[in-house]
Amino acid sequence: MNRRNTNWKRNGIVVTAIILIAFLIECFGYNQSAIFHANDSITFDLSHQNDTIKIENDEELVPLTEDKIAEIELQKQNDKIVAELNNEEYVEQVDESLVEQDGVLARRVYQTTITLDIGTDYYIKKLHVTYPTDSDLGYGITRMLGGIQDGKSVYDSLNARLGESVTNVNGQADQIIISLSTSQEFTGKNVTVAISNEFHINYCRMLYLIGGMLAIAFLILNKSLFSKRLEFAFIILSLLFGSFMILFDGTNERSWDEQVHYESAYRASFGQMIQYTEAAIQMKGLVVPNYDSIEEKGIVADYLQERNDYSKADLKYQQRFVLYNVRAYLPQSIMLVLARICDLPFSWAYMLGKFGNLLFYTLMMALAIRIAKFGKIYIAAIGLLPTPLFLASVYAYDAFITALVFLGFILWLNEIIDKDKKIKWYIALAMILCFVVGTWSKTIYIVMMLLLCFLPKEKFDDKFKTAFFKVGIVAIVLMLLYTIKSPPITASSGYDAIQTNIQYFGDKRVANTSFVGQIKYIFQNPLIYTKILLRSLKNSAFDYLLGTSTWLLYAYLGRFPKIFAALTSVLILGISLFQTEADRKHILERKWKLLLAVMAFGVACLVWTGLYISYTGVGENYINGVQGRYYIPFILPLMFVFKNNKFKVNISTEMFHKIIFSIIIFINLYGTYVYFLKPLCF
C-alpha cells in the first residue's frame, strides 16, 4: 500500500513537473518575442494608400507550357463542338490575359510589390493577409531592417475560398515587402495586412510538449509494462502519437487518396439516404483549403462548420447492403455516426472518424501482442513506426488490413509453436476470420491464409479431417481471389454487368492499361516478364523492406531524411536477429522459416504482378504503382525468418524493449514535430 502511494505521489509530481516545464517552454521558448519584444498589432488597409503603403505593379509575360497550350486548344475545340450541337454560332472566348509574342503564347501576369513601412523596429510574429479574391495565389514576405534584407523570404499561399491567410514570420523588421503575382492588376481594394506579436498559448504545441515528455517519462520510470505487458505500452504510445497526427493534421487531406477513403467512410456512416453537406462535398472533392498555421486551422474549421448544414444537404440514395470494399471503413464510419449524434462541429467529426481507425488498429495490434507467445516486440515495433501509424491516423483501409492480418498470422504462429496441441475450433475460426475480414479491401493478401494449409497433422483428430480442413481453406482463398476478376453480385443492378467485362479492365488513370491484354502479354512472354518482375523486386528491396518508402513516409506531408533509414534498418534487423532470453525459449524450426520466406516472396510477386496487370501499360518493361506500404502486411512474417538462438541479448527483456521503444519514441517525436506540428500548427 505504501509503495502504491509512493508511486502515485511520484507520478503526480512527474506529471505536474512536465506540465510546468511545457508551460515554461511555451512561454519563454515560443512566446519569448511577445514577452521581451512586446508590440501592439498594426493593420495596413491597402484600400487607403498613404505614406506607409506603396504598391507597385509590373506587367510580365510568362510563356505558357506546351501542356497548357494544348489544354487551351482542347477547350476551344470543345466549345466549337458544343456550339454545333446546339445549332449556335461559335464565338471564340477571348482571354485578355493571353498574348502572342514572337510566335509564343504567353500569359500576362502582374507582379505586385507591396511595401509597408512600419516606421520602427518591430518583431513580427504573425502576418495576417485578408484579400477577397477569385483565385488562389502565393506570396512572398521579405523583412527589411535598415534598408537591408534580414533573413530569408517566407512564402505562403492564400486560398480564395477563405480570402485570408496567416503566415509565421518570426523576425525583426522596420519594413515589409510583400510580392505576389496576379492575373489582373492589383488595386488593394478591401485588402488588409496585419502584423502582430501577441502572447498566445498554442494548445497543439502544449499538448505535444506534455505528451512528448510524458512518453519519455513513461519509458524511463515504468518497468513492468515494458517487460510483462508490452501491449499496454503499445496502446499508450500508439494512441498518443496517432492522436498527435490526427489533431495536427486535422482536416488537411494529405494522405494517399484520402478524399476517396473519406467518402467511402462517410457514405457507410449513413443508411439508405446519404446527406452530403457542402462541407462533406468539398472534402470529397479535395477542394477544402489546407492550413499551415494554428490561426488558419481555426479559420478552416469555421469555414467548414458554416457549410455543415444538414437542412441544405444534397440527398443521395444507396443500397442498405454494406459493400465488401467498404467494410474496412466501418470503424471510421461508426465514429462519424457518433460525431453526428453528439452534434460535433465538422472538423471534430472528421478527426473523430480518423480516431476510429486508430482505435481499431491499436486494439487489434495490442491483442496480437498480448496473445503472441514470442516476437511481441516485432509487432509493437512495426506497429509504431511512422508510416503504419500514419495510415492508422488517416482515412484509409491499410491499417485495418495490417492489424487483422497480423492478428491472424500470430494465431497461426502460436499453433505452430505448440505443434502437439490440438487446434481449438474457435482459434481456427478466429484465424480464418482475421484473414477473410482483413483482406476484404485488398483481396490479394488472402493468399497469406494458405499458411493454414501447413498446420501439422497433429493439430487434427485424423488425416481426413486434416485434408478436409485444408481443402476448405484453399476453397475460401480461391473464392475470395475470384472476386478480383468478378466482384460479388451487389445490389446495384448494372454494376455487375460492367464489372464482369474484364476486357476493358485497367486503371483509367494510366493510359493503355488492359487487364486481359496484360495477362495475355505475360503468358506470351513469361521469361521477359520474369526478368521485369525480378528486377523490380531487386531494385526496391532495400527501400521497401527497410527504408523510408515503407516506414518513414507521411504521404504528401513528407519523407524522413535518409539517415533515418539507417535507424529503422538497424531497428528492424536488430529486433529480428537478436533474441531476449524469454524469446529464446521458443524455437522456430527451419522448415517454418523457409515457408515464411517463400510466402513473403510469393505475396511480393503477386503485389507487383497485380499492379503490372492493372496499373501499367500493356507490354511495358517496368511496373507502375507499387508503393512500399503494400509490403507492410507480410513484413512481420518475414521478420520471423531471422529468428535464431545464436545472437543473444544479454540484457534484461525490459532493458531491450526500452532501447527499442526509445528509438521509436525519438523517431515519432521527430516526425510529429517536423512534419505535422511545426508546418501546420505553429
Binding-site ranges for other proteins (CB under 8 A) = 86-87, 319, 321, 324, 422-426, 428-429, 432-433, 436, 459-461, 465-466, 468-469, 472-473, 475-476, 479-480, 483, 488-494, 496
CA distances from 190 to 39, 59, 133, 183, 310 (A): 25, 22, 10, 17, 32
We find the least distance from the C-beta atom of residue 336 to other proteins, in angstroms, to be 23
**Cβ count within 10 A of residue 659:** 16
677 contacts 209 by C-beta, under 8 angstroms: no
C-alpha 201/C-alpha 22 separation (Å) is 11
In terms of CB distance, is 105 or 371 closer to other proteins? 371
In terms of CB distance, is 73 or 84 closer to other proteins? 84
We find the least distance from the C-beta atom of residue 475 to other proteins, in angstroms, to be 5
Say whether 44 sits in a helix, a strand or coil.
strand
CA distances from 27 to 13, 200, 203, 214, 233 (A): 21, 8, 12, 19, 31
Q: Letter for the amino acid at 649?
A: V
Read off the C-alpha cell for 573.
534487423
We find the least distance from the C-beta atom of residue 457 to other proteins, in angstroms, to be 12
653 contacts 579 by C-beta, under 8 angstroms: no
We find the least distance from the C-beta atom of residue 244 to other proteins, in angstroms, to be 34
In terms of CB distance, is 394 or 446 closer to other proteins? 446
In terms of CB distance, is 401 or 436 closer to other proteins? 436
C-alpha 527/C-alpha 535 separation (Å) is 12
258 contacts 270 by C-beta, under 8 angstroms: no
C-alpha 657/C-alpha 273 separation (Å) is 49
In terms of CB distance, is 491 or 528 closer to other proteins? 491
261 contacts 396 by C-beta, under 8 angstroms: yes
SS (H, E, C) 242-278: HHHHHHHHCCCCCCCCHHHHHHHHHHHCCCCEEEECH
We find the least distance from the C-beta atom of residue 459 to other proteins, in angstroms, to be 8
We find the least distance from the C-beta atom of residue 491 to other proteins, in angstroms, to be 4
We find the least distance from the C-beta atom of residue 455 to other proteins, in angstroms, to be 9
We find the least distance from the C-beta atom of residue 496 to other proteins, in angstroms, to be 8
**Cβ count within 10 A of residue 273:** 10
We find the least distance from the C-beta atom of residue 488 to other proteins, in angstroms, to be 4
We find the least distance from the C-beta atom of residue 438 to other proteins, in angstroms, to be 13
In terms of CB distance, is 104 or 479 closer to other proteins? 479
CA distances from 280 to 267, 302, 477 (A): 10, 14, 37
Say whether 476 sits in a helix, a strand or coil.
helix
In terms of CB distance, is 23 or 469 closer to other proteins? 469
In terms of CB distance, is 489 or 528 closer to other proteins? 489
Dmax (CA) of the chain: 96
* Strand blocks (E) in 64-153: 98-101, 104-130, 137-145, 148-149
In terms of CB distance, is 80 or 465 closer to other proteins? 465
In terms of CB distance, is 432 or 519 closer to other proteins? 432
Give me the helices (H) in 372-445, please. Answer: 376-384, 386-391, 398-417, 425-438
